[in-house]
Amino acid sequence: MSTWNPQPPPDSSLGDHDVAREGNHLDGRRIALLVTGGIAAMKAPMLARSLRRQGASVTCLLSDEALRYVTEDTLAWASDSPVVTRLSARAEHLGDGLAFDAYLVAPATYNTINKRACGIADGTVTATLASALGRLERGHTKVLVCPTMHGSMHTHILTESLQRLQRLGVTVVPPRDENGKHNLPDEGPIVAAVCRAVSTSPLRGRRILVTGGPVPARLDDVRAVSAMSSGSTAIAIATDLALRGAEVSLVLGAGAIDPPSWLCAWRVADIGEYRGLVGRILAQQPHDAAVLAAAVADFEPTETAAGKRPSDSAWSVTLRPTAKVIDALRAERPGLHIVGFKLESGVEHGALMATACERASRHGACVANHSEDYVAREHGSARHIAWLAVPGREPERLEGKRAIAEGVAHHLERTLSSHRSASA
């Protein structure tokens, strides 16, 4: 280990209570975070801040037992809002004037789940949930619970209570099962569930295929021809679409980085697996759109060697262009809206835009960029600049993976909002 040379941290524009924004999927949304008395309550402050990173305004309401595991001051700091621990003459449980968009019970203990399923409202959290369920019945809010308890407490009573709550429209966020316990999931899956629950995007319920990462062509059993890609752009797009409520199928090359655990994702090792899996996914269920961001190898060998070619002698390989999966999909599924990707190097901007617009006219849309647009910044980071070409519109400049993801999502919202769902 190196010895730290103590230095002040870099200056920041964020205030003490501020959070670094990761998205805007909860902008303008009021979320009630109901914290009950399990040891997982100690994670509630981080959950409150994660909700705020998507733009939410968070109000925490605590049971008496929750205060054994987390303090009122900690949650007040994390949420940047006053905390409710006792109901007063202001009738905080009724939500008058607060108009919460969602009530999130995390952690939701055995006691609270069963009380609520039986209609008991004997405390701050259970009384608040009684009002929340009434609002849920009228379509005015969403209610989510995160069951958290020891495995021995998962009885038929709990199962029946959760099923009853789900019939009432409550969303149950699956726990992270480990060491014989229903553990509170990481913040990511919980925040994603809240975003999806309150989303009013036209993409809600739409099935969208997203591909990304390097998809190589095999030379032998251990070597391959591949393009350089991490899959991070595709993962950003898939994440953004899923947070808007879309049903996303994500296909990644084996060399891509890991996506969020809550995304539905598959891995493929080579072009053959890629073609086969994409075809099966689209054949099994109708999809409304496909975002094909995978860096599929442009060349493949005319012959693939069996086993492992010896490395102590020269090897001459003849390459041929690979068949374009995007063209095959367009021919096979003319009604599928496709967003393709195009990377060029050493060409003028006008030529790149001409190529992007031509491809957009054939497929639906095209995201294009120069390899030179990955401009290195300080500390090894890079700026990713891309251009979204759509027929009838001027190409849109997008800077950064988050902006690219939002640009693709906005395009699909405009395009699909007037189209009947493929699964309808």
Residue type, 341: F
Token readout for 304 is: 């693939």
DSSP 8-state code for residue 141: -
> Measured in Å, how far apart are the chain's first and last C-alpha atoms?
59
Q: What is the pLDDT along the chain (424 residues), one digit of tens a residue?
A: 689 889 999 999 999 889 999 999 999 999 999 999 999 999 999 999 999 999 999 999 999 999 999 999 999 999 999 999 998 878 778 877 678 999 999 999 999 999 999 999 999 999 999 999 999 999 999 999 999 999 999 999 999 999 999 999 999 999 999 999 999 999 999 999 999 999 999 999 999 999 999 999 999 888 888 888 899 999 999 999 999 999 999 999 988 999 999 999 999 999 999 999 999 999 999 999 999 999 999 998 888 888 888 888 888 999 999 999 999 999 999 989 999 999 888 889 999 999 999 999 999 999 998 876 665 444 445 578 899 999 999 999 999 999 999 999 999 999 998 777 766 6
Q: Tell me the pTM.
A: 0.93
- Three-class SS of 291-337: EECCEECCEEECCCCCCCCCCCCCCCCCEEECCCHHHHHHHHCCCCE
| Residue partners of 136: CB distance under 8 A and separation at least 6 | 142, 143, 168, 169, 170
* Token output for 21: 């924004």
Q: How far is CA 11 from the centre of its chain?
A: 30
Output b/e per residue, 368-397; b: 16+ Cβ within 10 A: bbbeebeeeeeeeeeebbbbbbbeeeebee
Q: How far apart are CA 240 and CA 212, in angstroms?
A: 14
CA distance 92 to 198: 22
> For residues 139 and 60, what is the distance between their CA atoms, to the nearest angstrom?
22
Domains in the chain with CATH codes: 30-198 (3.40.50.1950), 207-303+318-416 (3.40.50.10300)
Neighbours of 354 (CB within 10 A): 14
Q: DSSP readout, 343-354?
A: EESS--HHHHHH
Phi, then psi, of 356 in degrees rounded to 5: -65, -45
